[in-house]
Amino acid sequence: MASYLQERKTVTGNTLAALYKKQEKITMLTCYDASFASLMDLCGVEILLIGDSLGMVCQGKDSTLPVSIEEVAYHTECVANGNKTAMIVADMPFGTYPTPEAAYENAAELIKAGAHMVKIEGGRWLEDTIRFLTERAIPVCGHLGLTPQSVHQFGGYRVQGKTEEDAERIIEDAKILQDAGASIFVLEAIPSQLGKRVTEAISVPTIGIGAGPDCSGQVLVMHDMLNVYPGKKARFVRNFMEGQTTIEGAIKAYVAAVKDGTFPAEEHCF
């Protein structure tokens, strides 16, 4: 049996640091309820992310922007009720971290609901906020590249970091936010080479979604990897239900593919 499917201890920041040190890929999936939390935990997923993607895949909205802190807290509590050992990371929704003080008040609600860490989208402008949170015992996951809460500013869901100037800015943002206390990063929809450069430039794990195979781990939206969400799929999505007869089989296939480096393949990269 693969080591990640054997009886495991609670996944903590130290666990992730150990995986990062020995260069074992880290697995993350979005999760929104107790039943899937229990199943993903059983299948060896290290991190369960309560993404504000719930606005689209659970609520049927056309973006993540309308999601509220109360809604994320509700889904976080559901996930926490079903989880035993995985780390739980909860998204900070749009408009909930305009100042460090506001960020702390909202992040505290997610921690009380059962999150072990919060995720915040944005670059160096979040330096003071991340420092404020981590100094007050709230671990932070950064999110760079395509940040869906900035969809209107970006003019759509577009690959980021394609020019050298933009690439250098993202690398510098990662360094600044790491120094401020961010302990892990999600890198979304950036060229594979930039994913590699960011990963090499910092000393904490990177979790890629359309950021290439050289990140420290990978994440997908659960509804995408199970081929449930309707409509056109992003390039970085792979249907893990293909060839499987159960959802459990699909999740185990995802974990195995991330761990052995067969996902993402070249066709999933920019």
Of 188, 200, 266, 267, which is the active-site residue?
Answer: 188
Q: Would residue 87 be called left, alpha or beta, if left means φ above 0 and alpha means ψ between -120 and 50 degrees?
A: beta
Ligand-binding site membership of 41 (annotated): no
- Distance of alpha carbon 183 from alpha carbon 139, whole angstroms: 7
Ligand-binding site membership of 179 (annotated): no
Residue 186: phi, psi to the nearest 5?
Answer: -95, 130
- Distance of alpha carbon 261 from alpha carbon 126, whole angstroms: 32
Q: Is 168 a catalytic residue?
A: no
Residues 6+ apart with CB under 8 A from 18: none
Q: Where are the beta strands (DSSP E) in the chain?
A: 26-30, 47-50, 87-91, 117-121, 140-145, 184-188, 206-209, 217-220
Ligand-binding site membership of 166 (annotated): no
User: Which one-letter amino acid corresponds to residue 248?
Assistant: E
Q: SS3 for 19? A: helix
Residue 171 tokens, joined: 């690398």
Ligand-binding site membership of 121 (annotated): yes
Ligand-binding site membership of 135 (annotated): no
- Which residues sit in the known binding site? 52-53, 91, 119, 121
- Which residues sit in the known binding site for Mg(2+)? 52, 91, 121
Catalytically active residues are 188
- Which residues sit in the known binding site for 3-methyl-2-oxobutanoate? 52-53, 91, 119
